């Protein structure tokens, strides 16, 4: 995979993430204001809509390589990671809305910014004492983490 292809995927991934956030945020507003659901119930449903949007577009438009052969298993893994995000998102939404007194949409934006900041942290810098860089490409052209077993002299 060339650097141009990786950059192309990165741009598409950013666009998909942005669209998933718009689906999440807009659904939160519609479900709360239009349907009349409690904002935490709306936030949970909206998060799931954003998660599904993200998954479907990533599979259809971004990534050709499949790390897991079974789509059901792949979505389950994706969903489990999403549930962790949902729990953190709803906790922050509750904290900012109920304790800090922000409007639920402001709270959602703040929660999304915090979660994005956590999720988008760069990988750790290589340890100069290790035999090899812990972030390497494998023959399938995807990232894998591996640790060297011995230290340099």
Asked whether residue 136 falls in the same domain as residue 111, the answer is no
For the stretch 37-69, what's the b/e string if a residue is b when 16 or more beta carbons lie within 10 angstroms of its beta carbon? bebbebbbbbbbbbbbbbbebbeeebeeeeeee
Asked whether residue 133 falls in the same domain as residue 71, the answer is no
Asked whether residue 63 falls in the same domain as residue 106, the answer is yes
Asked whether residue 65 falls in the same domain as residue 11, the answer is yes
What SS3 class is residue 151?
strand
Asked whether residue 42 falls in the same domain as residue 113, the answer is yes
**Residue 138 belongs to domain spanning:** 123-153
- Alpha-carbon distance of 56 to 20, in angstroms, equals 10
Cβ proximity of 117 and 111 under 8 Å: no
Asked whether residue 88 falls in the same domain as residue 107, the answer is yes
Asked whether residue 117 falls in the same domain as residue 75, the answer is yes
Asked whether residue 140 falls in the same domain as residue 81, the answer is no
Chain mean position to CA 71: 18
Task: Look at the chain and report how many structural domains it folds into.
Answer: 2
Confidence bin at 87 (pLDDT 50/70/90): very high
pLDDT of 9 > 80? The answer is: no
Cβ proximity of 148 and 131 under 8 Å: yes
Asked whether residue 134 falls in the same domain as residue 103, the answer is no
pLDDT in tens, 101-142: 999 999 999 998 998 777 665 555 555 555 454 444 444 444
Q: Mean pLDDT score of the chain, rounded to an integer?
A: 78
List for the chain the helix, strand, coil content (%; round to 5).
Answer: 65, 5, 30
Asked whether residue 112 falls in the same domain as residue 152, the answer is no
Asked whether residue 114 falls in the same domain as residue 130, the answer is no
pLDDT of residue 136: 43
Asked whether residue 111 falls in the same domain as residue 147, the answer is no
The DSSP 8-state label assigned to residue 144 in this structure reads E
What pTM was computed for the model? 0.70
pLDDT in tens, 21-47: 999 999 999 999 999 999 999 999 999
Neighbours of 25 (CB within 10 A): 17
């Amino acid at each position: 995979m060339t650097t141009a292809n990786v950059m192309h995927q990165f741009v598409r991934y950013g666009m998909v993430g942005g669209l998933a956030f718009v689906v999440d945020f807009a659904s939160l507003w519609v479900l709360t204001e239009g349907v009349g659901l409690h904002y935490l119930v709306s936030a949970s449903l909206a998060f799931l809509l954003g998660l599904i949007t993200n998954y479907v577009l990533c599979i259809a438009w971004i990534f050709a390589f499949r790390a897991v052969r079974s789509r059901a298993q792949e979505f389950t893994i994706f969903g489990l990671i999403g549930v962790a995000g949902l729990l953190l998102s709803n906790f922050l939404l509750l904290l900012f809305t109920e304790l800090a007194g922000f409007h639920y949409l402001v709270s959602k934006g703040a929660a999304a910014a915090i979660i994005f900041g956590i999720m988008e942290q760069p990988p750790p810098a290589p340890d100069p004492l290790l035999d090899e860089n812990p972030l390497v490409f494998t023959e399938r052209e995807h990232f894998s983490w591996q640790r060297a077993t011995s230290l340099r002299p």
